[in-house]
Amino acid sequence: MKNNTINKKEIEKFSKIAEEWWNPNGKFKPLHKFNPIRISYIKENIIKSFKLNKKTSPLNKIKILDIGCGGGLLSEPMCRLGAKVTAIDASEKNIKVAKLHAKKNNLKIKYICSSPENLKTKDKYDVILNMEIVEHVEDVKLFLKSCSKLLKKNGVMFVATLNKTLKSYIFAIVGAEYILRWLPIGTHEWEKFLKPDELVSILKNYNINLERLDGMKYNIINEKWNVSEDKSVNYIAKFIKN
């Protein structure tokens, strides 16, 4: 049995373009466009789950673990919202870029080069973010099992990924990579996409149950992402650990 979830090929792919993380018109432009809806969805759902007060630092003292954090596109806004953020990525280059950017912006984020199963910590987290990462790991079951061990009882886990449908193949791979060139060719492998019911059934094994499931849809006209009922391409799920 494999004892790690790091897919070397995937790590190399993202390490090569690590310098691009904070360029809104660079290789990660689609993620920059995606970020506002991710931030508001996560923020609103954390506030609701932990019955927080919507003041200036709405996520004050909430311990968040951002897994597969890349250059810190999500870690930084979470930190600005008042959360105590630990962020991990298996690419050393990504972590270097993230650390440098956080330092420039005077943000206290604990960045560690690691995968969840190799993270040496006694800490358990209120919230775990698995955003656009499960489709890039080597062993999704081991990955989610390792994540579940790091989550507190009644903690919240967010997973955003791509559904395994014909539509997702056409839109996310043929459209986004080959036709529109939004993403470098080879960013995604359709075989690694996960249907929502597969994700739900894996996490159920670790006492992590689905609370809500939403689609995410891109509007080409206003160039914005919205929460949608259509889960056939991108979806985001909120889970609670019982």
Look at residue 237 and tell me whether its pLDDT is greater than 80. yes
Each residue of 190-234: pLDDT tens digit? 788 999 999 999 999 999 999 999 999 989 889 899 999 999 999
d(CA 112, CA 98): 10
pLDDT at 1: 41
Residue 89 sits at φ, ψ, to 5 deg, of -155, 145
Look at residue 167 and tell me whether its pLDDT is greater than 60. yes
- For residue 173, is it within any domain? no
- H/E/C letters for each residue in 19-87? HHCCCCCCCCHHHHHHHHHHHHHHHHHHHHHCCCCCCCCCCCCCEEEEECCCCCCCHHHHHHCCCEEEE
Look at residue 144 and tell me whether its pLDDT is greater than 60. yes
d(CA 53, CA 213): 24
- For residue 3, is it within any domain? no
CA angle 237, 226, 54 (to 5 degrees): 70
* C-beta of residue 239 within 8 angstroms of C-beta of residue 211: yes
Domain boundaries, position 112 = 8-162+189-241
Look at residue 179 and tell me whether its pLDDT is greater than 50. yes
What is the enclosing helix (H) or strand (E) of 161? Answer: strand 151-162
- For residue 134, is it within any domain? yes
Q: What does the pLDDT average to over 182-194?
A: 78
- For residue 174, is it within any domain? no
pLDDT at 13: 86
**Which residues, 6 or more positions from 214, have their beta carbon under 8 angstroms from its beta carbon?**
41, 227, 228, 229, 231, 235, 236, 237
Confidence of residue 173 (pLDDT cuts 50, 70, 90): confident
Please report, for the domain that includes residue 49, its CATH number. 3.40.50.150
- For residue 182, is it within any domain? no
- For residue 176, is it within any domain? no
Per the structure, the count of domains in the chain is 1
- For residue 208, is it within any domain? yes
**Block residue for tokens 């956080």:** 102
d(CA 201, CA 208): 9
What is the enclosing helix (H) or strand (E) of 167? Answer: helix 166-168
pLDDT at 184: 73
- For residue 83, is it within any domain? yes
Look at residue 172 and tell me whether its pLDDT is greater than 90. no
* C-beta of residue 240 within 8 angstroms of C-beta of residue 203: no
